[in-house]
Amino acid sequence: MRLVRPTAAPWQHPERYWPSLEAATAELDPPYGVISQQALAHNAFDLLDRANGTPIRVASKSVRVRPLLDAVLALPGYAGVLAYTLAEANWLATAGEHGEAIADVVVAYPTTDRAALLRLATTPELAARVTIMVDSVEQLDYVDAVVPPHARESIRVCLELDASYITPLFGHIGVFRSPIHTAGAAQAFAALIASRPGFTLVGMMGYEAQIAGLVNNPAGNPLRGRAVGFLQARSKRELAERRGDAVAAVSAVAALEFVNAGGTGSIESSVAEPGVTEVAAGSGLFGPHLFDNYTHFHPAPAAAFALSVVRKPSPQTAVMMGGGWIASGPAANDRMPRPVWPEGLKLVPREMAGEVQTPLTGPAAARLRVGDRVWLRHTKAGELSEHLDAFAIVDGGTVTETMPTYRGQGQVFL
């Protein structure tokens, strides 16, 4: 796959876009997933435009398609992968029949995978390409217990700074990740890492989930949108100052190769911070429906999946086989996939999207017959690749190739 900036935007005309994908995949049996190469290319270049020259590290958890990662990384402006497990990082950093080795992989979360740590620590090529995440002494001790410093390669580590926003009124806003919140705590931990044999501190990371992952234009709730926007503006100012202080404090201890920040929803504010050297993005490549509710960017619906109608319990109700492809986060309606074609379909509130079946109502449900396809968009990130072995790549109205997911290549990391 070669990604080229598109000159047209067919997804802006749903009445043509979804039927064209259906026609291109008419010979496939649901469930199956589709990626529009044109829409994917639009999203990839739009992310680059928003990053304004700051390199983008691809968040693989949101993609989980090795050939697609390669295609995106071939574009100038993308550099490296932000993996979600160490086993995955080791796989990505190793050449084989699945693809060429990726030379720069940072693991976004701490690891207790002993087999993966042993492999990393005793393989010079992996030790040079893979960086693990740490935020506590216990994690360093765990690595030492698996492979003592004298028996391993030096392990590259990235210090994670807590990027959440702490307010007197609302308390903790963001996600619970690192316990390191202040510049002083970051410097003290950096000094401790520097004093430990067998570790090399090479980077810092901070994920501002309250900015990147919190919609600021929720449908039908403008008051909530204004409240979120107010809190995000304050969080951006607080974090820029605190992260800047932390980067300076840690840089006094170790020469940092990178400072990673943000996600698809916070690129503009992340790259505005002078201490940030790269941003992370992954889900914005697929354009899930979560991003329909942001004010400052509008990705194309590049990825979607099709399910089949298998029964009609009433003339006004159609039931699909499967459908419970649920996004991470609080269990709520906004984590559900959204039926987008035919237009006029709704999930049933008392059943919603289920593991084995999903009933649909609405005006279009009465017109559906057994065997008809329904097209859905996922909410957030990696739901499609969790369920699919491959994607059909559609370009120019035809399926041009089939691209395997991690699962399709026999890899299920989490």
Domain boundaries, the chain: 37-286
pLDDT at 332: 80
Helix (H, G, I), strand (E, B) or coil at 225: helix
The mean-pLDDT minimum among 35-49, 214-228, 263-277 falls in 214-228
pLDDT at 52: 96
Q: Residue 170: which pLDDT band, with cuts at 50, 70 and 90?
A: confident
pLDDT at 231: 85
Question: For residue 399, which of 68, 26, 18 has the smallest C-alpha distance?
Answer: 26
Whether the per-residue pLDDT at 261 is higher than 80: the answer is yes
Architecture of domain 37-286: Alpha-Beta Barrel (3.20)
Tell me how far apart the alpha carbons of residues 260 and 240 are, in angstroms, rounded to a whole number: 13
Q: Residue 38: which pLDDT band, with cuts at 50, 70 and 90?
A: very high
pLDDT at 148: 98
Q: Residue 225: which pLDDT band, with cuts at 50, 70 and 90?
A: confident
Q: Evaluate whether 282 touches 58 at the Cβ level (below 8 Å).
A: yes
Residue type, position 260, single letter: N
Whether the per-residue pLDDT at 96 is higher than 90: the answer is no
199-206/155-160 β-pairing? parallel
Whether the per-residue pLDDT at 182 is higher than 80: the answer is yes
Residue with tokens 């410097």: 187
- How is residue 60 written in tokens? 């693989």
Mean pLDDT of 180-209: 97
CA dist 81 to 67, 222, 240, 412, Å?
13, 36, 24, 17
Residue-wise pLDDT for 353-405, tens only, equals: 999 999 999 999 999 999 999 999 999 889 999 999 999 999 999 999 999 99
Whether the per-residue pLDDT at 64 is higher than 90: the answer is yes
Of all residues in the chain, the percent with pLDDT exceeding 90 is 84
Task: Return all residues near 176 (Cβ < 8 A) that are at least 6 apart.
Answer: 164
Residue-wise pLDDT for 286-304, tens only, equals: 999 999 989 899 999 999 9
Q: Residue 19: which pLDDT band, with cuts at 50, 70 and 90?
A: very high
Whether the per-residue pLDDT at 28 is higher than 80: the answer is yes
pLDDT at 252: 97
Whether the per-residue pLDDT at 214 is higher than 80: the answer is no
Mean pLDDT of 254-283: 96
Q: Evaluate whether 383 touches 325 at the Cβ level (below 8 Å).
A: yes
Higher pLDDT, 171 or 102: 102
pLDDT at 77: 98
Q: Residue 213: which pLDDT band, with cuts at 50, 70 and 90?
A: confident
- What are the E-state strand segments in 17-135? 32-36, 56-59, 78-83, 105-107, 130-134
Residue-wise pLDDT for 328-361, tens only, equals: 888 788 889 999 999 999 999 999 999 999 999 9
Q: What integer best gives the mean pLDDT of the chain?
A: 95
The mean-pLDDT minimum among 168-182, 262-276, 382-396 falls in 168-182
Residue type, position 180, single letter: I
Mean pLDDT of 193-222: 90
